[in-house]
Amino acid sequence: MKSIKTTPEFMNLTEDEIVAALDDFENQFATEDDVDSDIEPENPIVKEVARLINEYTNRFDEIIAEAGDEGDLPEEIFEYEPEIIIERVAYEIFMDAVHDSMQEADDFE
């Protein structure tokens, strides 16, 4: 996960700026269930968060494939803390989604 980095223009954003951009994007939809992943956000901050989440997802999928049938995930996934704020926000969103999907999987067992 450590090799996933933001581009220089997003390195000095505050968490408030990032959250405000994400909120503006989400506020165009009536409910959270109405969020359309096919809609391309216009805000470059939202685009960068989406790109980072996609990169984290791809790397996570690679780690899962490497783990094979054993299914043991390296602790680094759960202990990783990005230093750049936008990377941290994206990683937290990503990890919330991982946690939710793990909960759903447990519910079906």
- What pTM was estimated for this model as a whole? 0.84
Q: What is the dihedral of CA 101, 30, 23, 60, to 10 degrees?
A: 20
DSSP 41: P
Does residue 33 form part of some domain?
Answer: no
User: Which is more confident, 109 or 15?
Assistant: 15
Query: How many domains does the chain divide into?
Result: 1
Percent of the chain with pLDDT over 90: 48
Question: Alpha helix (H) ranges present in 1-109?
Answer: 15-26, 44-67, 75-79, 85-108
State pLDDT tens for residues 49-72: 999 999 999 998 888 888 776 667
Residue 101 belongs to what domain range?
14-28+41-108
pLDDT at 55: 95
State pLDDT tens for residues 69-109: 666 777 777 788 899 999 999 999 999 998 888 777 666 55
Does residue 48 form part of some domain?
Answer: yes
